[in-house]
Amino acid sequence: MSESNIEAKKILDNLNTAIIVIDKALTIQFANDAGLALFETGYKQLHAQPLNDFLTQNVIDALPIESAIDEGEDFTETEVRLSFKDKRQVLVDITVTNIILNKKPQLMFEIKVIEKQQQISRQNQQNAQHFAARELVRGLAHEIKNPLGGIRGAAQLLEKELDHEQKEYTQLIMEQSDRLRNLVDRLLGPNSRPIIANYNVHQAIEQVRILTRAQFGETINIVRDYDPSIPQVMVDKDMLQQAVLNIVRNSVQALTNAKTTNPQIRLVTRVDRHVIVYKEHHPLVAKIKIIDNGPGIPTEIRDTLFYPMVSSKDNGTGLGLSIAQTLVNHHRGKIEVESRPGHTEFVIYLPIEKQEFI
């Protein structure tokens, strides 16, 4: 590859817009980094492959691709819902331009994900609200712990003055005080600082899979779809495992409570490029997806899903996802969620500091 071509590729790879080039046979000839991220695959898996291996046929049929090929007409389509074979759906604007590449007519797709900016704005707002809610909870929790300690201490002193039958009541006071203290400690979340080291994220996911299988047996089908080429990530392995476990348990409960037919949880790993996490740009991140085929998240709690004490379950504490969010935040990462009936997808983003991925 000539020096000018290398520089041109660098420019294309730094674009946030996905660039995909196909030939008349609808075979993919080129994709920049944003295009690889959109298709969630590597260049070797994408190059020279038919477009309809990745997109559903109804998407391809809905676009005027044949006219663009046969008559050389460029076109632009806005708010197109791209449906991928892996059941992902992405809302995009598409511009298709006729070009000559390697002396052959080609079509260049410029695909801009229009949900991204909305997501970033929504995430920043939700993160600010989440932070404010946690600070409020922390303040209340500390205020509650002080009188709880006094109540328990007074019950201990009182117990020494009572006969055996009356001690039953002081025992009840102490037990309930301990229960409330444990709840408050859980509300406060993890206080220890993460012990960061290079770690293979698949080890944490596998531990979660083994724990889930041991607890629930074969009642839920757990499918693995890993990208083994993901480099090691700087994380606290215990915190990462706990975050993934909390989300998987949430999925298990949703599937169980809804009595979903053929319940399934998919554990997927991929890389993504040029990702904004709370206003910070990361050239490369690892993505861990936990996908279930349950009933979906109720609309009324989606915007507050990661708040403490928010739950759609009758006996739920609403702490699992809140703690998962806090643990991931310790790693400068984020959690996104997309949900509709039959498909709920949690995605953990973890920055990869060194670009070792090929």
The amino acid sitting at 51 is L
CA distance 350 to 331: 7
Using CA atoms, how far residue 105 sits from 21, 119, 229, 271, in Å, is 10, 36, 34, 32
- CB distance 51 to 68 below 8 Å: no
CA distance 210 to 230: 21
Q: Which long-range contacts (CB under 8 A, 24 or more apart) does 29-36 make?
A: 29/101, 29/106, 30/101, 33/273, 33/274, 34/273, 34/274, 35/111, 36/273
Strands 221-225 and 233-235: unpaired
pLDDT in tens, 281-306: 888 899 999 999 999 988 877 776 77
DSSP summary character for residue 299: G
CA distance 65 to 85: 19
In the predicted model, what is the mean pLDDT of the chain?
83
Using CA atoms, how far residue 173 sits from 179, 185, 310, in Å, is 10, 18, 27
Beta bridge partners of 20: 31, 109
Predicted pLDDT of residue 357: 40
DSSP 78-97: EEEEEEBTTS-EEEEEEEEE
Q: Which residues of the chain have pLDDT under 70?
A: 1-4, 115-142, 186-192, 304, 307-318, 354-358
Residue 41's nearest CA partner among 273, 260, 219 is 273
Three-state DSSP class for residue 257: helix
The structure tokens 């801009």 sit at 112
Predicted pLDDT of residue 30: 93
pLDDT in tens, 1-10: 566 677 878 8
- CB distance 40 to 82 below 8 Å: no
